[in-house]
Amino acid sequence: QNCVVTQEPGATDVKESFNWLFESEAEEKTEDSKEKLVHMEEAEPLGGEELDMGECVAQYLSLTLDPYPRLPDAQVPSELKGNTDVDVDSGETPEGPFSALQSLKNRS
């Protein structure tokens, strides 16, 4: 994945496990199988006779990966630092969108 600050590629390690329960759409649920599923997630319907494992992994990875990856040493380019009221790298938080209006209210 590319860093959102520098656009340089960065490596991401994913060490997760997942379990998915599938069942045939034609399979009827018996009372015994319903009781077993009470403590488990609901089974995904399996359309047809085949399971696309690539699609399963792609769906899970899309939920696991960081949507905004940032390299540990990434710095905001100096030409972009002036575009905000707060230095992004400093960790400060902006006062809020209404802080400028508050100063106008106090003048009245």
List, in sequence order, every residue forming a beta bridge with 22; answer none if it has no partner: 44
Confidence check: pLDDT of 95 > 80: no
Q: How confident is the model at residue 6 (pLDDT cuts 50, 70, 90)?
A: confident
Q: Which contiguous run of DSSP H or E holds residue 59?
A: helix 53-64
State the pLDDT confidence band at 9, using cuts at 50, 70 and 90: very high
Q: In this structure, are residues 25 and 49 in contact, taking their beta carbons and an 8 Å threshold? A: no
Name the average pLDDT for the chain. Answer: 76
Amino acid at 73: D
In this predicted model, what pLDDT tens digit does every residue of 54-76 receive, in sequence order? 888 898 888 899 999 999 888 88
Q: Which residues pair with 44 in a beta bridge?
A: 22
**What local confidence, expressed as pLDDT, does residue 24 receive?**
79
